[in-house]
Amino acid sequence: MEKVEMFFSTLSWFTYATVPPVCAFFGWLAFPFAFFTSILAIVFGTVQLWKAISNLTNPLSNEMSEYSNFASTNEALKTIFSQASDEEIAKYEKQLDTVKIFDPVLIITPNQTWINQHGLPAYNAVMDAFATNGLQNRRRDRNSRSIFHFTENEELYTVRRNVRNLIPNAFFVPTSLQSQLSNAQLHPVGTAWILLKVAALKSDFGEDENFFHVI
Ligand SMILES: *[C@@H]1O[C@H](CO)[C@@H](O)[C@H](O)[C@H]1NC(C)=O
């Protein structure tokens, strides 16, 4: 009986001697851990808050990054009119001011070989056809004979089909097929570009290589 008592009292001394120091040891470990974690939380929280505030105050920057694959209208025009002066580019840019987002714009730049072959009045007649086809006493080019506004793709390609029927020699037989056809029209009237405004200042654009193909 005495031995058993002694055993328990020994255990309780053992417990008192070990458990508090162990708790204290882990407690000291917990403090730097909590400190470190709260610093991380403050840093991440601040970054998120800062992002949220900057998106609220400047929603355009958010929108711009979404369209970062697209060129500015100015860059697009400089590619299309590679010979144009800054003044001319500014004039063209103004032409695009009123274009609604996602309305297609057709831009035609002249092919000098075609003009040498057919003459400038013939070239202007083709541009006038693109500017007026399907409209009553109105032009879709603001007299530029180069930048044509359409309200939708269907209108653009209907006009293209109509002009091809009216003035077939503005269109050409693709080089790969020219050897198979005698009297083939060898040059297009120009180069066709399709430009879309996708956001206030951004554009998607590209050359439509088949635009002036006869077939
Ligand atoms: C004119 O058309 C010919 C194809 O017949 C092409 O090789 C040439 O690059 C064109 N020129 C311009 C300025 O687009």
pLDDT attached to residue 149: 95
Q: How far is the CA of 185 from the centre of ligand 1 (A)?
A: 12
Give me the sign of the Cα torsion angle 17, 20, 22, 28: negative
**Contact at 8 Å (CB) between 6 and 14?**
no
pLDDT of residue 15: 72
Give the predicted TM-score (pTM) of the model.
Answer: 0.68
Residue range 178-203: average pLDDT? 87
pLDDT for 32 equals 78
For the CA of 112, the nearest atom of ligand 1: 13
Distance CA 168, CA 181 (A): 15
Atom 6 (ligand 1) nearest CA = 187
Question: In the beta sheet, which residues pair with residue 202?
Answer: 72
In this structure, what are the phi and psi dihedrals at residue 150, rounded to the nearest 5 degrees? -125, 155
Atom of ligand 1 nearest to the CA of 187: 5
Q: What is the pLDDT of residues 119-173, one digit of tens each?
A: 999 999 999 999 999 999 999 999 999 999 999 999 999 999 999 999 999 999 8
Say if residues 104 and 153 touch (Cβ distance below 8 Å): yes
Give the three-state DSSP class for 163: helix
- Number of neighbouring beta carbons within 10 Å of residue 186: 12
**Which stretch of DSSP H or E encloses residue 27?**
helix 2-57
Q: Which residues line ligand 1 (CB under 6 A)?
A: 111-113, 186-188, 191
Q: Are 208 and 190 in contact (CB under 8 A)?
A: no
E-only strand ranges, 7-103? 71-72
Residue 110 contacts residue 131 (beta carbons within 8 Å)? no
Gap from CA of 100 to ligand 1 centroid (Å) = 31
**Of 66 and 196, the one with more pLDDT:** 196
Nearest of 172, 184, 160 to residue 215 by alpha carbon:
172
The residue among 160, 182, 186 whose CA lies nearest residue 172 is 186
Flag whether pLDDT at 187 surpasses 80.
yes
Residues ≥6 apart with Cβ < 8 Å to 188: 111, 114, 170, 171, 172, 211, 212, 213
Substitution site in 107, 172, 187, 208 for ligand 1 pocket (most atoms within 8 Å of beta carbon): 187
Distance CA 114, CA 123 (A): 8
Q: Tens of pLDDT along 25-83? A: 777 778 778 888 888 888 888 888 888 777 666 655 555 555 567 888 899 999 999 99
Tell how far the Cα of 179 is from the centroid of ligand 1, in angstroms. Answer: 17
Minimum mean pLDDT range among 3-7, 132-136, 142-146, 207-211:
3-7
Report d(CA 125, CA 123) in Å as an integer.
5
- The pLDDT score that the predictor gives to residue 106 is 96
| pLDDT at residue 128, rounded to an integer | 97
Per the CB < 8 A criterion, the answer to whether 203 and 107 are in contact is: no
Whose alpha carbon is nearest atom 4 of ligand 1? Answer: 187
**Of residues 98 and 22, more confidently modeled:** 98
- Rounded mean pLDDT of 90-117? 92
**Residue 107, pLDDT score:** 96
